[in-house]
Amino acid sequence: MKIYKLIALGLFISITAAAQTGRETGTKYGTGEDSLECLKNLSLYSEDLRNKNYDAAYPAWEAAFNNCPAATVNLYIDGATLLEHKIKKNKDAATFEDLYQKLMKVYDQRMEFFGDNRRTPTPEIKGFKALDMLKYKRNDAEVLAQAYALLDESVNYSKEKSQLAFLATFMTTSVNMYKMGKIDAMKLVEDYTLVTDGLDNQLKNPARAKYHGQIEKVKGSVETLFANSGAANCETIDQIFAPQLEDKKFDLAWLKMVSRLLVRGLCDDSELLYKVSEYQHNIEPSSASAYGLAKMYLKSNDMNRAIDYFKEAIDLCEDNDQKGEFLQQLGLVYLTQEKYSAARASALRAIELRPNWGAPYIVIGKAYAISANTIGTKELEKKSAYWAAVDKFMKAKSVDPSVAKEADELIRTYSVHFPATDEIFFEGYKNGETYTVGGWINEKTTIRAK
């Protein structure tokens, strides 16, 4: 019936003596009989495509693609679908290459004839082309570089209006280009900033509200990619973001992003971290901003303020591993202040969160050893603190082999302070007996001679 309709339609078309295709004339359908052939092929392939008869649709689509390229933008949207189907079914390398090149031509021809389309202009078509290039040839270094250039142009054009897939893939490709030595760290950071700015603006857009969960997930992946890229070192972060600080000091999303990068990069001595943390904390107190301020006040030797911000960082932190790290660092601060009981309490909390971590046990052991002279009045009572200290160092390496070297060194250092055998005997004790260390330690240990 559709063919009959087309024939009927042809009665109203003026058929010239010399028919020409749409490609030859620069028109949608060409002229004369060729225009009828074009309309027929468009109709035939569309019908088969609707019924998912992809193999049957392909010949008519190909004829329309070759002869009437300006007919409709759907010719290119449908062409990508049909070629994807054929590529998926194909197992032969030579045929794959032929189909891949035809798919690339689909995008190039779409840009030629429909690049001025308001809804999908040339930069967006380049983004789609890059996605398919990476889909089929992601391990080809030359194709990777070409796709990166296309995505770079697309995302820089559309910015926050870029499709989520373009932003995510652009970041992945940018990191790969950096690792291959094709772009430098500064360019990678610029790309990262462009992508995160785009994602942040999408999160602020009420029209994108239903996609916010997905956008947040992509943003987290992008941050992880960048943090693990090797380019996110303190010097590079400072070079890129420090000049932007005063203009961005009220931009909470920007401040959070820079703060997270600095904390992940362990940029504890960065002046940028201090300033970012202060601005961020003024707007919205968080664990990361409180930690930054704690480190800042440590550097300026204002221990009381540092301790206050460490406590705030701990209270606001929701990640147990990170909270344990903050507690461990707070314990070390208390240790330098000779607040031994507080140091132990902080380390014990860290152990609750991370039972297989040895560092907090070392803090407790050091607190015991350093405070030995405050325990009791007799020499044996003071030296008993070293037994308790060595117990903690031994516990540290038993739960966490990564601290074994430090623990062994501390065991050697403090074991020499154990009482001699005759000293133990003179006080009425024997090697191997249980002994309760007095003072603030108040802990059972085993008597040992040096």
pLDDT bucket at 15, cuts 50 / 70 / 90: very low
**Helix H or strand E segment including 119:** none
- Asked if the model's pLDDT at residue 117 lies above 50, the reply is yes
Q: How far apart, in whole angstroms, are the C-alpha atoms of residue 376 and residue 385?
A: 10
Question: Chain-wide mean pLDDT for the chain?
Answer: 89
What average pLDDT does range 389-397 have in this prediction?
A: 97
CATH number of the CATH domain containing 29: 1.25.40
Tokens for 56? 């049957």
What average pLDDT does range 53-64 have in this prediction?
A: 94
| Closest to 218 in 3D by CA, of 179, 164, 254 | 164
pLDDT in tens, 197-240: 899 899 989 999 999 999 999 998 998 898 888 887 888 888 88
Instruction: Of 7-16, 318-327, 354-363, give the lowest mean pLDDT range.
Output: 7-16
Q: 172 near 142, Cβ under 8 Å?
A: no
Residue type, 18: A
CATH number of the CATH domain containing 394: 1.25.40.10
pLDDT of the residue at 23: 60
| Residue after which a domain boundary falls, among 85, 114, 143 | 114
When divided into structural domains, the chain yields a total of 2
| Residue after which a domain boundary falls, among 79, 114, 149 | 114
- Asked if the model's pLDDT at residue 8 lies above 50, the reply is no
Flag whether 14 is in a domain: yes
Flag whether 408 is in a domain: yes
Q: 446 near 387, Cβ under 8 Å?
A: yes
What average pLDDT does range 371-399 have in this prediction?
A: 96
Q: How far apart, in whole angstroms, are the C-alpha atoms of residue 216 and residue 234?
A: 25
Flag whether 447 is in a domain: yes
- Beta-carbon contacts of 243 under 8 Å, excluding residues fewer than 6 positions away, are none
Flag whether 140 is in a domain: no
Side-chain-side CA neighbours of residue 256 (13 Å): 14
What average pLDDT does range 277-295 have in this prediction?
A: 88
Give burial (CB, 10 Å; 0-12/13-18/19+) of 164: middle
| Closest to 72 in 3D by CA, of 109, 105, 122, 104 | 109
Residue type, 363: V
- Asked if the model's pLDDT at residue 284 lies above 80, the reply is yes
Instruction: Evaluate if pTM is beyond 0.75.
Output: no
Flag whether 383 is in a domain: yes
What average pLDDT does range 247-258 have in this prediction?
A: 88
Flag whether 436 is in a domain: yes
Q: How far apart, in whole angstroms, are the C-alpha atoms of residue 21 and residue 26?
A: 8
Flag whether 306 is in a domain: no
| Closest to 339 in 3D by CA, of 380, 300, 310 | 310
Structural domain of 444:
319-450
The separation between the first and the last C-alpha atoms of the chain, rounded to the nearest angstrom, is 104
Tokens for 400? 């966490």
Tokens for 50? 């609707």
| Residue after which a domain boundary falls, among 114, 146, 168 | 114
Separation in Å, CA 246 to CA 255, 267, 400: 11, 20, 44
Tokens for 332? 């070390």
Flag whether 3 is in a domain: yes
Give burial (CB, 10 Å; 0-12/13-18/19+) of 171: buried
pLDDT in tens, 161-179: 999 999 999 999 999 999 9
